[in-house]
Amino acid sequence: MSTFDRRGACPGLSAPMPTGDGLLVRLMPTDSVAVADLLALCAAARRDGNGTIEITARGSLQVRGLSASSAHAFARAVAELGIAASDGLGVLTNPLPGDPEAIIDSGPIAAAVRRAVAQASLELSAKVSVIIDAGGRLHLDALPADIRLRAIRFAEKPLLHVSIGGDAASATPLGAIALPAAYDVALALLGAIAAQGAHARAAELVAAVDIEHLRSLIGDHLQCAPTAPRRSPAEMIGTHRLQDGSMAVGVALPFGHIHSDALAALTRLAGTYGVRSVRLAPGRALLLLGVAAVLPRRAFFIRLAKFF
């Protein structure tokens, strides 16, 4: 079976998926995308595909209408841009960099988890995912994940609350750990999921063993801490103050679809209002980062509205 025939797999850059309008690839940026790089990405989507770009419910970017040859050209273009992206295990972090309400910086922890899993060569389902939630305003409680590590503050120090399977409301809580233990704990739980089979998810593991067995996988890393409290739903759309005094403006694409020409035009407009980079966010949203707080917001929003 060729790479292009693997239906049911996640269509990353290295594994395009056949659809009714050609091949589809998915890009999972692990950081913000600079304005210039996003413009170049739009140009590549139009040149190598049919120009249709989608933002998924989990905040990935999909490009449609590629061919076998143009998919490779698109992958090379992305590599040349140097956009930080993951083509393996999906490790999601909070989409708002510089969130003044964040308890930790989740980026280095997510990078350590990706490295640990890659080095362990675990055979995991392409749909397995890990969430590293920094505890900020734009949290990830609504997204299902196989493993959740959520930052909490206890006794004046940050800890990570660990749960497995489901969204924040339905996941099975296991306890809290110190930050340095994150990649060991994630690796242990992912290894246990992999042991259930190549297509297994956390739900199969939870059904197969009791909670004490799950906690034993964490072992001495467990610390005494309260259960993470529930939070109000995160609203990606709107304005969000950043630590440097600028703003992020969250916008949602209709049904997650936009043509590359329209996205390029939106990006150029955002650049004129101080936007330095764009972050893909859950809920099929885009966060425009670096809007100067002193600029007239009304004029910006009126000009943005024509794209939606």
In tens, the pLDDT along 53-69 reads: 999 999 999 999 999 99
Percent of the chain, pLDDT > 70? 93
Tell which wins on pLDDT, 119 or 13.
119
Q: Answer left, alpha or beta for residue 85, where phi above 0 means left and psi between -120 and 50 means alpha.
A: beta
All structural domains of the chain: 3-86 (3.30.70.3340), 96-221 (3.30.413.10), 238-305 (3.90.480.10)
Q: Is it the case that residue 101 has pLDDT exceeding 60?
A: yes
The model's confidence at residue 253, banded by pLDDT at 50, 70 and 90, is confident
Tell which wins on pLDDT, 12 or 265.
265
In tens, the pLDDT along 129-144 reads: 999 999 999 999 999 9
Q: What's the mean per-residue pLDDT of the chain?
A: 89
Main-chain dihedrals φ then ψ at residue 135, nearest 5 degrees: 85, 15
In tens, the pLDDT along 165-223 reads: 999 999 999 999 999 999 899 999 999 999 999 899 999 999 999 999 999 999 889 99
SS3 assignment, position 25: strand
Percent of the chain, pLDDT > 90? 69
**What distance in Å separates the CA atoms of residue 202 and residue 119, rounded to the nearest whole number?**
21
Provide the token pair at 267.
């990006």
Tell which wins on pLDDT, 76 or 12.
76
Q: What is the pLDDT of residue 227?
A: 84
- Can you tell me the mean pLDDT for 231-259? 91
